[in-house]
Amino acid sequence: MPAKPAAPIRSPTVADAIPAALYRGRGSPRRVLAMCAVGALVLAVFASRDLPSWSERLAGLPYAEAAQRLAAEWDDAMEALGLTRPHEALRSALKQALEWR
């Protein structure tokens, strides 16, 4: 007896969030990794002010103390290089905007 053909599967009536025109270029998992790694490095440089408070949330974990010390040292080094200034300037500008009446 011939095999019964599979029932046709209807495609769902939902639109893709990212339109097909944007699936161009050479996007690959390696390029995704490269973008994330470079992005994380740049973020560590320009957002170093938040690293110590983030590392405090690791309290209780075996490597917490080392991470906290490293975060504080890294932040000090970025401050010495003047790389924390854009972060501080943006924060203080927004603080002023919040207090403005």
Partner 1 sequence: MLFPTLGFLLFFLCVAALLAALGERFTAKKAVLVIASYYFYAQWDWHFCFLLLFSSALSYLAGLALGATGERRRKKIILGVAVAAHLLLLGTFKYLDFFTLSANQLARLLGLERELPFIEVILPVGISFFTFHGISYVTDVYRGDVAVCRQPLDMLLYMSFFPQLVAGPIVRAAYFLPQLARPADLPIPIAAALVLILGGLFKKVVIANYLATGLVDPVFAAPTSYGGPDLVLAVYAYAVQIYCDFSAYTDMAIALAALCGFRFPRNFDQPYRAQRLREFWQRWHISLSTWLRDYLYKPLGGNRRGRFNTYRNLLVTMLLGGIWHGAGWKFVMWGALHGGGLAVERMIMPWLGGARSTSFAGRVIATVIVFHFVCFAWIFFRAEDFTVATLYIAGFAGGWSGGVHQAGPLMVGLIALGMVGQFTPVRLFEPIAARLQSMPAWGLGVTAGIAVAAINALGPEGVAPFIYFRF
Residues near partner 1, by CB under 8 A: 6-19, 21-43, 45-47, 49-51, 53-54, 57, 86-88, 90-91, 94, 97-98, 100-101
Give the shortest CB-14-to-partner 1 separation in angstroms: 4
Whether the CB-CB separation of 85 and 62 falls below 8 Å is answered with no
Whether the CB-CB separation of 55 and 68 falls below 8 Å is answered with yes
Q: Which two tokens stand for residue 93?
A: 């500008």
Give the shortest CB-92-to-partner 1 separation in angstroms: 10
Give the shortest CB-13-to-partner 1 separation in angstroms: 8
